[in-house]
Amino acid sequence: MINYAKIILSSVKSVYLMCSAFVIQHGILQGATFIQSENFNARPADKTGLITGIVIHNISLPPSQFGQVNADGVHHVKAFFQNQLNPNDHAYFQDIHTLKVSAHLFIERNGSVTQFVNFNDRAWHAGQSTYLGRQNCNDFTIGIELEGADDIPFEAAQYQVLGQIIVAIYDAYPATRRHLMGHSDIAPHRKTDPGKYFDWQTLRALVAQMMI
């Protein structure tokens, strides 16, 4: 596995400069492209809707292929979250194109970030899930999709941007600071992402450096 910790954390100065890249205002990540998905609803109005966690996922369409676009030049993942995935573009899409799903954020291999749902709203990313005895993790978490696959290492740019975003989320939603998890943690019998190649140690070290 590539030593991302060495790559990403080699310069304290560069880490410091990255800290201010993203700010959250009224649930919108400033510095990201915003494309509204229809696949969301309101979080519960009571305390169960308080944002207390972050869930990391991976996604690639078609599976294990990155940067693929449709005839209009729209990334397939972005089309999927907008209910515009063309089932004729790939055989795999025929089984999923009617699904209504979304994530708050999608981070591409080059570090580009798109937001699909306001953080204060409930994105549909977790599905049937449980965390610390609480069900319906969509109610209280922020979902971040990384373009990737379980058996392929992620890019250094993705770790860098993800670290910046997590720091911004921690600042805007302090209750999330102790609850950073993978999709496989909240749905272990259904999901395996972000997968064995996701380097949690590097991510946590990067976030810690940024918060100094």
Catalytic positions: 145
C-alpha 63, offset from chain centre: 17
- In DSSP terms, 132 is beta-bridged to none
Q: How many CA atoms lie within 13 A of 44 on its CB side?
A: 14
Q: How many CA atoms lie within 13 A of 176 on its CB side?
A: 24
> CA 186, 181, 7, 75 torsion: positive or negative?
positive
CB 118 within 8 A of CB 28: yes
Angle, in degrees to the nearest 10, between helices 156-172 and 200-210? 50
CB 69 within 8 A of CB 76: yes
SS3 108: coil
What residue has token string 């319906």? Answer: 136
Among candidate residues 138, 126, 130, the one with its CA nearest the CA of residue 183: 126
SS3 98: coil
